[in-house]
Structure 1
């Protein structure tokens, strides 16, 4: 899957590319602040804050109806959910304001922005893979003892890799179970990683969670097959079982819905 890990830290490819671009932008602005004008240092800090805020606000506005019922989730930035276009608009406004004050400073500031954009694009190109990985060929045991395969059944599939010891997994499971119950044309598979039947069954019972298809993967075969470097990991499989997309880390309701819509669009399924 499209992810990067450094020791205990793991990042989704898009998130890692955005972080890399931000670091390069701030570093370039810092160098220019020392060599050209120290005001570029303060400007870059404000630009980073405004860009992130605008990216989040843009995402929230795109999904205003979903956030209206749970407004506190506007602050749940750890779930992801940022608009590239919103962030770009925020940075552009700050850049234009600086350019109106000083064309010279505006030109140098634009150079630091370009450096950040190039770094983002280069990092994404290096870490993102469009390879259509086929589904695993082995069968997995369900909680009732029966066996099933994952993907390749002629319907798009959302495959969630999770564990009971994983706090982000526990936070997102109820939302994912709810969305699975009302999504008729996409299958959901919840594959527990590394734990035994009793542990999984006891947890689901204690949390009153009804997962449509819970399978056991005590040997972490799915994590290995998809190169998942952390949990939770959500994989989006096309109707033929090939990997069409992925998301590493806790996923929000809005991002999950977006990914499902993209998956259905690729398969020619009407929304």
Structure 2
């Protein structure tokens, strides 16, 4: 999703929308009962904190070279199961402890949950009907090639040399590509020349296989990306499994590969 020149990943927007719905429904019932803002804050913050801690502990090896990255929640590294369990426990505690706000809190939580699951269902339904687009790309030596999976689980990364988040995540992708020969990684530069890309790789001493050019940004238009970097995950049949807008860290990339390509990832 984009607003003007700003692009936002969809999952956090769905999450924030659900919180807003929960607060709205609680506010509608607040005239007869107590306020629920503090309760919602406790539930959300408790769940998110637990989810982040669990994620960092799970992927501690990926954070060993950058301890500060543990606190950078912009990489969206959270353990959903732990977050749900802890958030639910906090919700039960608040419902039992604050009798005056039980009704609006219960209504708010139910409304937030329904809005979240409904929005996620719509996104999943759209993904199920999406396939890898038949776009013709160019290699760095100007050889044309069709965007395809070649019968392998495939990761397609749309990037550009001028994009700081792209620059930050490419080393993690290079490492993942080297460690996982059973997964096909395609790096598609949007709107730049081969000379620009080669010079960038030389300056950064970066080695990326399967680097392609999309001079007219046709692929970006076909997948309707709101910004860069955008990463698309396809199964071996070319069916879209997931999209990710924004920077991956080594940990969140590893997590995504485990989620979508468990049988193909190197252990």
Do they fold alike, i.e. is TM over 0.5? yes
Q: After the TM superposition, which parts of structure 1 deviate over 6 Å for at least 4 consecutive aligned residues?
A: none
1:35 to 1:163, Cα distance in 2 relative to 1, 3 A: farther
Among 127, 130, 134, the alignment partner of 1:133 is 130
Shift in Å at residue 231 of structure 1?
0.9
CA RMSD of aligned residues (A): 2.4
Asked if 1:14 is matched to 2:11, the reply is yes
- With the length of structure 1 as denominator, give the TM-score of the two structures: 0.86
Q: Deviations over 1:206-250 (max 9, x none)?
A: 111111121110111111222222111111122233323221111
Aligned equivalent of 1:163: 160
Q: Which residue does the alignment assign to 1:221?
A: 218
The 3 A distance-change label for structure 1 pair 139 and 64 is same
Q: Give the conservation status (yes or no) of the 8 Å contact 1:17–1:120.
A: yes
Give, in angstroms, the shift of residue 32 of structure 1. 4.2
Q: Can you give the 5+ residue segments of structure 1 that lack an aligned partner in the other structure? A: none
CA distance in 2, matches of 1:85, 1:165: 36
Aligned residue for 2:170? Answer: 173
The aligned residue for residue 146 of structure 1 is 143
By how many angstroms is 1:37 displaced? 1.6
Write out per-residue CA displacement over residues 19-71 of structure 1, whole angstroms, 9 at most, x where no aligned residue: 21122223334444454224x23222333322322222232233334334533
For 2:71, the equivalent position in structure 1 comes to 75
Query: In 1, Cα distance between the equivalents of 2:148 and 2:84?
Result: 37
Match of 1:97 among 75, 90, 93: 93
Q: Which runs of 5+ in 2 are unaligned?
A: none
The 3 A distance-change label for structure 1 pair 119 and 108 is same
**Inter-partner Cα distance in structure 1 for 2:205 and 2:225:** 27
Distance 1:126 1:243 in 2: 14
Q: Which residue is 2:235 aligned to?
A: 238
Give the drift of 1:269. Answer: 4.0
1:120 Cα offset (Å): 0.9
Q: How many residues align?
A: 265
